[in-house]
Amino acid sequence: MGAVRPKKHLGQHFLHDQHIAQRIVEALQASGYDKILEIGPGTGILTTLLLQRFGKKAVHVIDIDRDSIAWLREHLPLPVTHIVEGDFLRLDPNALPAQHFGLIGNLPYNISSQIFFRLLEWRQRVPEMVCMIQKEVADRLTSPPGNKTYGILSVLLQAYYDIDYLFTVKPGAFNPPPKVNSAVIRLVRNSTRQLDCDEKLFSQIVKQGFQNRRKTLRNALKPLNLPFRENAEPLLNQRAEQLGVKDFVQLTQLAQ
Ligand code: SAH
């Protein structure tokens, strides 16, 4: 590798450890879809292994970096149309590789949260995602309630995905090494097609509830001005970080 000079502003840290790359690609369970979209392939360490495992018909990649794209077009046996130069965050849903597809990537850490919000929008189309992110974010997403690291994305993602923390990766596995530890997680869509409440309101309540995580939900949710029923009291007396997905669903039901 070393073919493309890493650019800091694009969050480029190229993985050079083949063994870790293999473990990431093998982590895909690949059930319920037959197309895969890789976010930020860079110089293709994962892409090459994805091609070996799934074949060139299955693999699509998108990277914002022109140099990486040029390099991939030259070196990978992928159809031109499967190598997209662009911003994943602005990807048109009509341009996605299939109705159902898996996501994979060593994500650019600076936009990983935005990528997960995109995943939430596309949750009915993405049965599985395997990704490398900052370890701290991985801890947050896999955290149970009652924990300081538990937050908005923990609740929203855990509502729709079973999330596994797979393994930790040290900075030395990358060029250049990031300042933080990394971790690989797997998200598999759970069987909840739809939450048992108004899903939009659920997400509003979760977001607002964590705006002031030290306040009780009664106070934190005041700006939403919701007509809570009386039996919501026990939940409203708690703080957002104490509530699991089911509690937030119940609270949402009691706000309608
Ligand atoms: N998968 C490669 C590179 C990981 S670095 C490896 O493991 O070595 C993150 C990659 O995401 C970079 O290639 C960077 O150009 C790309 N990237 C950054 N922002 C992006 C965006 N908004 N959309 C798509 N790709 C992006």
**Residue 148 belongs to some domain of the structure:** yes
CA distance 54 to 252: 42
d(CA 166, CA 185): 5
Co-location of 25 and 90 in the same domain? yes
Q: How far is the CA of 38 from the centre of ligand 1 (A)?
A: 9
Atom of ligand 1 nearest to the CA of 13: 5
Q: Please state, in angstroms and rounded to a whole number, the distance separating the CA atoms of residues 47 and 72.
A: 9
Cα 197 to middle of ligand 1, angstroms: 36
What residues does 38 pair with on adjacent strands? Answer: 61, 104
Shared-domain flag, residues 23 and 146: yes
Unique residue bearing structure tokens 């919501």 = 232
Domain with 67 in it: 8-189
Ligand 1: atom nearest CA of 38 is 1
pLDDT by residue (tens digit) across 51-106? Answer: 999 999 999 999 999 999 999 999 999 999 999 999 999 999 898 999 999 999 99
- For the stretch 135-163, pLDDT in tens is 999 999 999 999 899 999 999 999 999 99
pTM above 0.85, yes or no: yes
Residue bearing the CA closest to ligand 1, atom 17: 40
- Domain shared by 165 and 231, yes or no: no
What residues are in contact with ligand 1 under a 6 Å CB criterion?
10-15, 39-42, 45-46, 62-65, 68, 87-89, 106, 108, 111
From the alpha carbon of 88, which atom of ligand 1 is closest?
23
Tell me, yes or no, whether 83 and 176 share the same domain: yes
256 falls in which pLDDT band (50, 70, 90)?
confident
Instruction: Indicate which residue's Cα is closest to atom 24 of ligand 1.
Output: 63
Q: How far is CA 122 from the centre of its chain?
A: 11
Residue 170 is part of a domain; what is its CATH number? Answer: 3.40.50.150
